[in-house]
């Protein structure tokens, strides 16, 4: 991490101090909530902020604006230089493919013209660290032309479309991004290395789908991220690394179909996922939060659960799973 605190931007021989950072496991729960800043009065003094407010991790302006974003034909040619082939084109997008990696290019968009699989919502902090632009908060890009990407459907939505994650990529960041996408298409499980992204030419097997759904990953997590707009409905937390794809009806009690059904899931912050998994919180049909007295009044206040109203987003398709969950609720 370069920090040009002596003034000016890096380059042209200007001095820059470099700091090597390591994530400490005991601070992992603070990802997205802890921000380290330079005090303007003393550039060698750290200021720490962790007062309970959300502090999203962002790319410094000086890094994000260093290089122009690749667009249109230039972006397509740059991807071809990395081994991608154009496989399909519509009026709005061009599909670029290299082995198992599919990328779409918006043909007439100069802001966030590159679209990747929505599974990479989870990699948004690493993507941003490359100096790549993306929306804050992260929201799905919806377009019916994204045929290689998952279906996006919501209650009261008349048409079924597709979702992706759109990005603005400077030239020097494109190759590192592709490397990140290649690595991110797989995940380590107890069964070994498993694909979490399929294609029309090589779709995921049922074993791969179930293996990743068991740990709240893969297409199950992607579907929940889209359905809940990447946000925990109880806490409002929207940092991907703090969110869990929670099964409502437990894995052990569910059929294969139920294990993959996004209606059997809610996107919850990690601490709320732990409560939900243990039956210490649940939901009424109205979406009102049920809170077990076993948590204790002081912990309920500390977790700010007593300020939560009914959540939005539950549908009739969730109700059979929620009824099963309420049977396990610890009264």
Q: Are residue 94 and residue 104 in the same domain, yes or no?
A: yes
Q: Are residue 19 and residue 106 in the same domain, yes or no?
A: no
**288 close to 319: Cβ distance less than 8 angstroms:** no
Q: Which two tokens stand for residue 303?
A: 């977790």
**313 close to 227: Cβ distance less than 8 angstroms:** yes
**What's the CATH number where 69 sits?**
3.90.1150.40
Question: How many contiguous H segments (helices) and E segments (strands) does the chain have?
Answer: 10, 17
The confidence score (pLDDT) of residue 58 equals 45
**72 close to 113: Cβ distance less than 8 angstroms:** yes
> Band of the pLDDT at 203, cuts 50, 70, 90?
confident
Query: What mean pLDDT, rounded, does the chain reach?
Result: 81
Does a structural domain hold residue 23? yes
The confidence score (pLDDT) of residue 42 equals 43
Instruction: Give me the number of domains the chain comprises.
Output: 3
Does a structural domain hold residue 130? yes
Q: Are residue 66 and residue 197 in the same domain, yes or no?
A: yes
108 vs 55: which has the higher pLDDT: 108
Does a structural domain hold residue 234? no
CA 133 to chain centre: 15
> Band of the pLDDT at 24, cuts 50, 70, 90?
low
The confidence score (pLDDT) of residue 10 equals 53
- What pTM does this model have? 0.68
| Domain boundary residue, one of 227, 253, 282 | 227
| Domain boundary residue, one of 193, 227, 261 | 227
Phi and psi angles of residue 53, each rounded to the nearest 5 degrees, phi first: -75, 155
Residue in the block written with tokens 């797989």: 186
Q: Are residue 223 and residue 283 in the same domain, yes or no?
A: no
Does a structural domain hold residue 235? no
Residue in the block written with tokens 């990699």: 123
7 vs 124: which has the higher pLDDT: 124
Judge whether residue 62 has pLDDT over 50.
no
Does a structural domain hold residue 232? no
Does a structural domain hold residue 237? no
Does a structural domain hold residue 252? yes
Q: Are residue 6 and residue 147 in the same domain, yes or no?
A: no
The confidence score (pLDDT) of residue 16 equals 58
- 36-55 pLDDT, tens per residue? 554 444 444 444 344 444 44
The domain containing residue 193 runs over which residues?
A: 56-227
Q: Are residue 313 and residue 281 in the same domain, yes or no?
A: yes
């Amino acid at each position: 991490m370069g920090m040009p605190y002596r003034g000016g931007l890096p380059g042209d021989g200007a001095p820059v101090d470099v700091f090597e950072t390591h994530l400490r496991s005991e601070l992992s729960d603070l990802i997205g909530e802890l921000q380290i800043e330079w005090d303007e009065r003393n550039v060698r003094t750290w200021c720490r902020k962790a007062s309970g407010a959300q502090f999203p991790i962002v790319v410094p302006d000086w890094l994000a604006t260093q290089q122009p974003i690749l667009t249109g034909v230039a972006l397509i040619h740059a991807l071809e230089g990395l081994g991608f082939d154009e496989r399909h084109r519509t009026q709005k997008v061009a599909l670029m493919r290299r082995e198992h990696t599919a990328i779409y290019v918006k043909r007439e968009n100069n802001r966030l013209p590159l679209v990747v699989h929505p599974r990479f919502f989870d990699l948004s902090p690493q993507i941003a660290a490359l100096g790549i632009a993306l929306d804050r908060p992260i929201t799905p890009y919806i377009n019916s032309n994204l045929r290689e990407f998952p279906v996006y459907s919501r209650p009261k939505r008349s048409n079924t479309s597709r979702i992706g994650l759109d990005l603005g990529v400077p030239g020097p960041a494109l190759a590192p991004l592709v490397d990140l996408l290649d690595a991110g298409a797989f995940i380590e499980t107890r069964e070994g290395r498993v694909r979490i992204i399929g294609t029309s030419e090589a779709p995921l097997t049922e074993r791969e789908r179930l293996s990743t759904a068991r740990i709240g990953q893969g297409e199950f997590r992607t579907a929940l991220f889209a359905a809940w707009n990447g946000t925990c409905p109880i806490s409002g937390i929207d940092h991907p690394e703090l969110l869990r794809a929670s099964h409502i009806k437990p894995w052990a009690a569910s059929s294969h179909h139920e294990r993959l059904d996004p209606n059997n899931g809610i996107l919850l912050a990690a601490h709320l996922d732990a409560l939900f998994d243990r039956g210490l919180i649940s939901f009424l049909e109205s979406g009102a939060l049920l809170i077990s007295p076993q948590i204790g009044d002081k912990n309920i206040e500390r977790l700010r659960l007593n300020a939560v109203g009914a959540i939005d987003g539950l549908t009739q398709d969730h109700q059979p799973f929620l009824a099963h969950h309420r049977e396990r609720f610890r009264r």
